[in-house]
Amino acid sequence: MLSRLTALLICVASLVTAHEMTPAYPEIKPSHVKGVVKAQLTLVNQREDIKYYLVEVFDKNFINIPFSSPYRIMKLDYKERKNFEVYLRKIDLRRAVYICTTSKVLKQRSSKTLVSSRICSRIDGGTA
């Protein structure tokens, strides 16, 4: 009984602090603007300590690639899910490899290490 309760508590404790982004390999689709393509992703914030996520696009060496999105810094309340689109120029598509979201940690008042989480999806048709 105690072990079940402990397991439950561990599960509950771990469920409230997650950062999740899907899909791992978003589909690139044409947008309504000529020469611009888009990818649609979903972000879920289950980190109670985080409210903002930064959206970035990188090449294979993690150098920034220009992009457009309605949410460059996205506010997500605890347990909120948001679909968002990332627009890229077709000419940048050859270099672009990753779309990443990074949690933005707030300034703290105690001596500690904070965990910034980042999840990167792959848009170059990467292989697993």
Binding region for other proteins (CB under 8 A): 13-15, 17-25, 47, 49, 98, 100, 105, 107-122, 126-128
CB atoms within 10 A of CB 31: 16
Indicate the residue among 18 and 73 with the shorter CB distance to other proteins. 18
Indicate the residue among 33 and 114 with the shorter CB distance to other proteins. 114
Indicate the residue among 16 and 33 with the shorter CB distance to other proteins. 16
Least Å distance, CB 89 to other proteins, is: 22
Indicate the residue among 7 and 33 with the shorter CB distance to other proteins. 7
Encoded amino acid at 37, one letter: V
Task: Record the tokens describing residue 86, joined without a space.
Answer: 């990332």
Least Å distance, CB 96 to other proteins, is: 13
Least Å distance, CB 34 to other proteins, is: 29
Q: In three state form, how does the secondary structure of 44-109 look? A: EEEECCCCEEEEEEECCCCCECCCECCCCEEECCCCEEEEEEEEEEHHHHCCCCEEEEEEECCCCC
Least Å distance, CB 98 to other proteins, is: 7
Please count the CA atoms within 13 angstroms of the CA of 44 that sit on its side-chain side: 10
